[in-house]
Amino acid sequence: MRGRRSFRDREAPTGVVVETITAVDIVLDGGCSWACVLACFLVNFFTWGIVSSYGVFLAYYLNNAIPDDLDFKYGISGNLDFSAAMLVAPLVTILVGLYVIHIPMLIGIVLLTTGLVAAPFAQRIWELFLTQGALVGSGIGCTYIPTMSILAQWFRKRRSLVYGISASEMGVVGLPFFIQGKILGGPFIGILSDLFGHIEFAGILTFICGLTIFAVWMPVTSYAACILFAFVNGPVFGVYWVTVGPISAELVGLVKQPRLLSLNWMTIVLPLTFTEVIGLYLRRHTSQYEFLYLQVYAGTAYIVAGLLMVELRRVH
């Protein structure tokens, strides 16, 4: 499918205003579009994919703690990756508007690399906050945020599918550690979201994700059951990252999509900063049901979010 964009030139050497219109054919849903999907996938692969495996780092930090530092501080360190990435969203959006997307992405590469290289040399918890937290998180934000609005501009159909493919990197890069169901879950969510509607399907899957926590995770008593939960919940737990781009484009259009996404990123800064800390506090080491309070908290949050999506569909 081709989209036509016109460029107007109103200046003439004689001083007479002359209007010329040049039509440029841009192929939508074509080869260049899928090249953008691959590029965005690789960006996510080397940013969110690695950060989403922070549980591996957390397990090491808890067993090899810096003296006199509390466990919850390591949770904050991991969450700073996410919250710092969202916090720089308005600045990144401004830079993308003023310059090409390559400028903030190059800045992000420098910040991300610096943070990852410097983190192993941290001797104090504040140094870990600065390196693996703030620097890595800011680098991720600078590289990831520009890609969110790019994909929607290259596709008129199958927008959720391409966002799903782009977001499926978490399951690929984290194969030894993470939830492998995410590999197929992202594209699967994208296909069905394009068929049944972005808002409707996002609400349904968010609600289902909460139900799987109560129905599958809470009764877990063995490692095999835990693996089952990973494959059941894995394909649907990342519905937010797959559908936030298409939903924002549907609500306000492509022109205003970057602004709406920036507002969205800002609203999740505080939750992303403290969720892991909340999880550490809700964990009960001496109880038979060690993660019960955490499971109730997570399941309830997903169910409430799913109901709010239903309300969004009603008013939209």
3-state secondary structure string across the chain = CEEEEEEEECCCCCCCCCCEEEEEEEECCCHHHHHHHHHHHHHHHCCHHHHCCHHHHHHHHHHCCCCCCCHHHHHHHHHHHHHHHHHCHHHHHHHHHHCCCHHHHHHHHHHHHHHHHHHHHCCCHHHHHHHHHHHHHHHHHHHHHHHHHHHHHHCCCCHHHHHHHHHCHHHHHCCCCCCCCHHHHHHHHHHHHHHHCHHHHHHHHHHHHHHHHHHHHCCCCCHHHHHHHHHHHHHHHCHHHHHHHHHHHHHHCCCCHHHHHHHHHHHCHHHHHHHHHHHHHHCCCCCCCCCHHHHHHHHHHHHHHHHHHHHHHHHC
Question: 117 vs 4, which has greater pLDDT?
Answer: 117
- Band (pLDDT 50/70/90 cuts) for residue 20 is very low
- Mind listing the pLDDT tens digit for each residue in 186-234? 566 666 766 777 788 888 888 988 999 998 888 888 888 888 888 788 7
d(CA 181, CA 205): 14
Mean pLDDT for all residues in the chain: 75
pLDDT recorded at residue 238: 73
Domains defined along the chain, listed by start: 2-315 (1.20.1250.20)
pLDDT recorded at residue 11: 44
Residue 177 has pLDDT above 50, yes or no: no
**In angstroms, how far is the first alpha carbon of the chain from the final one?**
28
Residue 47 has pLDDT above 70, yes or no: yes
Question: 236 vs 113, which has greater pLDDT?
Answer: 113
Report the pLDDT averaged over residues 150-157: 73
pLDDT recorded at residue 9: 42
pLDDT recorded at residue 110: 92
Residue 23 has pLDDT above 80, yes or no: no
pLDDT recorded at residue 282: 82
Report the pLDDT averaged over residues 141-150: 82
For residues 184 and 262, the answer to whether their CB atoms sit within 8 Å is: no
pLDDT recorded at residue 214: 92
- Band (pLDDT 50/70/90 cuts) for residue 168 is low
Range scoring the smallest mean pLDDT among 24-33, 264-273, 300-309: 24-33
